[in-house]
Amino acid sequence: MDKLAEIMACKREELSSRLRPVRDEEFISFGDRRDSHRSFRDVLSSPDELSVISEIKRRSPSAGEIANIPSAEEQARLYLNAEVDALSVLTDEKFFGGSLQDLWNVTDFIRSHDRLVPSLRKDFIFHPIQVLEAAEAGASAVLLIARALDDVEFSELRRVADLAGLDCLYEAHDEKELERILDQEPFIVGVNNRNLTTFVTDLAVTERLLPMIPPEVVKVSESGIVDPEDAWRARDAGADAVLCGEALMRSDDPEGFVAAMKEA
């Protein structure tokens, strides 16, 4: 079994007791959020500089333990001081050491400091209940991984995210996945440089796939951004934003790291 298949099998088992039908009205109750918060999409659309999505990630299957942080909100404070454009919060516990409570804590911290920095729920989402949880926790966007979802799941998750006022960050690793995503008429597409079968990273994936994405779509390069030069390479390939986790989590100077990436 490849790593993504293993993770998805565990995720479906983990959530089995929480799954239930979710009424549209439950999503609609959050739908006015897009009017009162900066949207994930708008924040990443700056024409003047590369946008940076910083990720709160304690560990991963590929890197093992990354950082023993005191709390998710303390890491968010470091990122806000570094003037990142958006936050990505891992909420998977078994493989990444995160939790849904981390997302609640981060969004509460952002609001309490009157900051308008949007946040992404980064998880292996396959059911509408996970989208509702993201909206309840104050997220601005959810991650939808093409390889993890069939077409029916894809369409339904997009539909309920729209009802809840959440953006969708669609994720592709190859041409076939990207083609399926483009059929959804996305606003934001992320190219994952990491192969989720082998967990090997290659920035050439960004260079190959980004030119295939229409110009009006926000383009994000994900994974494998280990130094500012990688961010510049992604920008040269057409990225509007980069998602950076492990390197920023390990950095002694996140402010300098982010500033250097934005010079791309």
Q: pLDDT tens digits for 187-236?
A: 999 999 988 787 889 999 999 999 999 999 999 999 999 999 999 999 99
pLDDT at residue 47 tops 80: no
Strand boundaries in the chain, DSSP class E: 51-56, 59-60, 64-65, 86-90, 119-122, 141-145, 167-172, 188-192, 218-222, 241-244
Q: What's residue 45's pLDDT?
A: 87
Greatest Cα pair distance in the chain: 47
For residue 57, the 8-state DSSP code is -
Torsion of CA 211, 214, 218, 220, to 10 degrees: -30
pLDDT at residue 156 tops 80: yes
| Structure tokens belonging to residue 198 | 């082998």
Q: What's residue 264's pLDDT?
A: 64
User: d(Cα 38, Cα 8) in Å, to the nearest integer?
Assistant: 31
Cβ atoms 210, 236 nearer than 8 A? no
Q: What's residue 33's pLDDT?
A: 60
Mean pLDDT of the region 39-63: 90
pLDDT at residue 71 tops 60: yes
User: d(Cα 134, Cα 131) in Å, to the nearest integer?
Assistant: 5
- pTM to 2 decimals? 0.94
pLDDT in tens, 81-135: 999 999 999 999 999 999 999 999 999 999 998 888 999 999 999 999 999 999 9
Three-state DSSP class for 125? coil
% pLDDT > 70, the chain: 97
Residue 259's pLDDT band (cuts 50, 70, 90):
very high
% pLDDT > 90, the chain: 80
- The contacts of residue 81 (CB under 8 Å, 6+ apart) are 254, 255
Residue 34's pLDDT band (cuts 50, 70, 90):
low
For residue 123, the 8-state DSSP code is S
Residue-range domains of the chain with CATH: 3-16+31-262 (3.20.20.70)
Closest CA to 140 of 182, 172, 90, 103: 103
Mean pLDDT of the region 26-48: 80
Cβ atoms 128, 136 nearer than 8 A? no
Computed over every residue of the chain, the mean pLDDT equals 93
Residue 223's CB: how many other CB atoms inside 10 A?
A: 28
Q: What's residue 2's pLDDT?
A: 84
User: d(Cα 134, Cα 195) in Å, to the nearest integer?
Assistant: 26
User: d(Cα 85, Cα 67) in Å, to the nearest integer?
Assistant: 22
Q: What's residue 35's pLDDT?
A: 54
User: d(Cα 115, Cα 188) in Å, to the nearest integer?
Assistant: 22
Query: Which three-class secondary structure string do you get for 87-109?
Result: EEEECCCCCCCCCHHHHHHHHHH
